[in-house]
Amino acid sequence: MPELPEVEVVKRGFEKALADRSGAVLITRFEFLRKDLRDVIPVKKFEKLQGSQLLKIARRAKYLIFTTNLGEFISHLGMTGSWRRQSSIGDQRPHDHIRIHFLVDGISESWVYHDPRRFGIFDFLDGKTQAQRLGHLGPEPLLEQFTGEYLWQSLRQRSSAIKTAIMDQKVVVGVGNIYASEALFQAGIRPSLRAQKITQIQAQKLVAAIKKTLLQAIEAGGSTISDFKSTENQSGYFQAQHQVYGRAGEECRVCGSRIKVAVTAGRSTFWCLRCQR
């Protein structure tokens, strides 16, 4: 499943190709090869955006937000979604669902949304969808407002495991299973520790570890887990650097102990008994 780093990599891919140009970027046409993903796509409304100017591409949690002079729309990659720049006219694949045609500095360019399982979202961002989808989200992990003090305060009333707590979107957005396991390892905190029991120092270490883990993954182009492909069609290689995730039974790279795994609620948690006390 694409997690925050993968979505950030996609956003940067779009920016590099579109937003960082000197001239205007126009959306000339939306082409819907299918009219539904997780929900029905409001095709008629999208048609009204044809001819609009793309002003900005942003990311909030795992949503890509496209701002045009006529309105905002969002893309969420769901379980298996990806965007790619269409390299040639004949480049069409099964499970391609949406094509956006742009005019960039007077040159045509197309981007294709591909999603075999169709859990993605492609919708407008208006008052209603904003409240529904983005209204209850916690801070962005990479922004300054996500501090050790903030995390410590927001966990004081929580009796759940620390790993569950940092994966809660109300606490902080975009820390999925892989990055939660990796950050807890880096911070030396056992995943099953009750959230309310972490000390202020541990909270600081954990926040630093979350930021570092996510930034490393973004640098590496996202993980290769699932069907993720960045917009440049290159798989990320963060997976090769995982310290604990997916390494059950293998030796800890720090102390040599065997990495443990436990499965709760369908999610695997990986940790080192000796490094994470």
Q: Which residues bind Zn ion (CB under 5 A)?
A: 252, 254-255, 257, 272, 274-275
Q: Is there a catalytic annotation at residue 133?
A: no
Catalytic residue among 3, 6, 8, 182: 3
Q: Which of residues 25 and 244 has its CB atom nearest to Zn ion in the complex? A: 244
Measured from each CB, the residue nearest to Zn ion is 252
Alpha carbons 184 and 181: distance in angstroms, whole number? 5
What is the smallest separation between the CB atom of 242 and Zn ion, expressed in angstroms? 14
What is the smallest separation between the CB atom of 216 and Zn ion, expressed in angstroms? 19
What is the smallest separation between the CB atom of 195 and Zn ion, expressed in angstroms? 22
Catalytic residue among 2, 5, 141, 191: 2
Q: Is there a catalytic annotation at residue 3?
A: yes
What is the smallest separation between the CB atom of 211 and Zn ion, expressed in angstroms? 22
- Greatest CA separation found in the chain? 59
Question: Residue 9: in which H helix or E strand, if any?
Answer: helix 4-14
Buried b (16+ CB within 10 A) or exposed e, 81-93: bbbbbbeeeeeee
Q: Which of residues 131 and 255 has its CB atom nearest to Zn ion in the complex? A: 255
Tell which residue, 158, 178, 159, 176, has the closest CA to residue 167: 176
Q: Which of residues 137 and 261 has its CB atom nearest to Zn ion in the complex? A: 261
Alpha carbons 87 and 105: distance in angstroms, whole number? 17
Q: 107-114 and 96-104: which strand pairing?
A: antiparallel
Token digits of residue 36: 């539904």
Buried b (16+ CB within 10 A) or exposed e, 254-276: eeeeebbbeeeeeeebbbbeebb
Cα 149–Cα 275–Cα 155 angle in degrees, nearest 5: 25
Q: Which of residues 175 and 252 has its CB atom nearest to Zn ion in the complex? A: 252
Catalytic residue among 11, 12, 62, 190: 62
Q: Which of residues 149 and 250 has its CB atom nearest to Zn ion in the complex? A: 250
What is the smallest separation between the CB atom of 255 and Zn ion, expressed in angstroms? 3
Alpha carbons 230 and 221: distance in angstroms, whole number? 7
Which active-site residues does the annotation give?
Answer: 2-3, 62, 267
